[in-house]
């Protein structure tokens, strides 16, 4: 179980402008990897390709041995629903749903929202959201909203969690809380985490750090044994 990236590059526009240059690396199962670099270095583009939301221009990506680009629409959506969790810089909670309903959104698709309600409540308690179950996103603080978004990403205990600047909109206290939750998810449930950040201190909390400069793999730490 791993994500294997081989000679991956990505271009945009006409004439094509390359934003990611041939890169190869591997993220192992249960690994906590941070992708670090300056703004415009291509880290978010790389994250979207790794998380199946986007596809590379050339090169290949294999997740658990499967190429997402050759999957059918149904397969790719099932894969996203069951194996992948997302955390974006903005929480992207559905404003009409309560905190609890937002957390249960991925499992509602498969009709498991009632069966997994206790798990959602446990997670809310673990994430310091107890008592906020029936509040709408507009009635929560920014930190609480992001914690609800993390709980939503983890409700299915996915194998992979992709986080795009999850602390970008938070103060340092709430940023620390979010980072602690990511670490706990990795340690408790063995979730592989790919974190995109431009903050060196948060990047250093990962097992391994991939640094991008102008779309090129500048350096990456040695793979640690898990």
Helix, strand, or coil here: 169?
coil
Per-residue x/- mask for another protein, residues 24 to 63, rule CB under 8 A?
------------------------x--x-xx---------
Closer of 168 and 221 to another protein (Cβ) = 168
What is the C-alpha to C-alpha distance for residues 46 and 61, in angstroms, rounded to an integer? 11
Using the minimum distance from each CB to another protein, give the nearer residue, 110 or 172.
Answer: 110
136-165 positions binding another protein, by CB under 8 A: 152
Q: Which one among 38, 92, 130, 201 touches another protein, defined by CB under 8 A?
A: 92
The CA-to-CA distance between both ends of the chain, in Å, stands at 13
Selected range binding another protein among 30-38, 82-90, 203-211, 217-225, rule: CB under 8 A: 82-90
Q: Shortest gap between Cβ of 3 and another protein (angstroms)? A: 17
Answer yes or no whether residue 106 interacts with another protein by CB under 8 A: yes
Contacts of 114 (CB under 8 A, 6+ apart): none
What is the dihedral sign for C-alpha 116, 122, 128, 132?
positive
Contact 32, 163 (CB under 8 A): no
Backbone angles phi, psi at 58, to 5 degrees: -135, 170
| Paired strand residues for 10 | 20
Strands 192-197 and 160-164: parallel
Q: Which residue, 54 or 199, has its beta carbon nearer to another protein?
A: 54
Q: Binding residues for another protein, per CB under 8 A?
A: 48, 51, 53-54, 73-74, 77-82, 84, 86, 88, 90, 92, 94-97, 105-106, 108-109, 152
């Amino acid at each position: 179980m791993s994500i294997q990236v081989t000679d991956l590059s990505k271009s945009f526009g006409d004439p094509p402008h390359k934003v990611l240059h041939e890169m190869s690396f591997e993220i192992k199962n249960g690994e906590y990897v941070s992708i670090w670099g300056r703004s415009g270095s291509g880290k978010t583009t790389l994250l979207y390709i790794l998380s199946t939301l986007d596809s590379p221009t050339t090169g290949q990506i294999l997740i658990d041995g499967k190429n997402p680009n050759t999957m059918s629409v149904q397969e790719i959506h099932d894969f996203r629903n069951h194996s992948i969790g997302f955390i974006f810089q903005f929480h992207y909670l559905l404003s009409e749903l309560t905190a609890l309903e937002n957390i249960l959104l991925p499992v509602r698709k498969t009709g498991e929202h009632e069966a997994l309600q206790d798990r959602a409540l446990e997670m809310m308690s673990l994430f310091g959201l107890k008592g906020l179950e029936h509040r709408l996103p507009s009635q929560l603080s920014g930190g609480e909203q992001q914690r609800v978004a993390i709980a939503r990403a983890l409700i299915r205990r996915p194998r992979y969690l992709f986080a795009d600047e999850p602390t970008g909109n938070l103060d340092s206290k709430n940023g620390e809380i979010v980072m602690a939750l990511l670490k706990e998810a990795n340690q408790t449930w063995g979730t592989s985490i790919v974190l995109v950040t431009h903050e060196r201190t948060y990047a250093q909390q990962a097992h391994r750090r991939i640094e991008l400069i102008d779309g090129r793999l500048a350096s990456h730490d040695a793979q640690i044994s898990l």
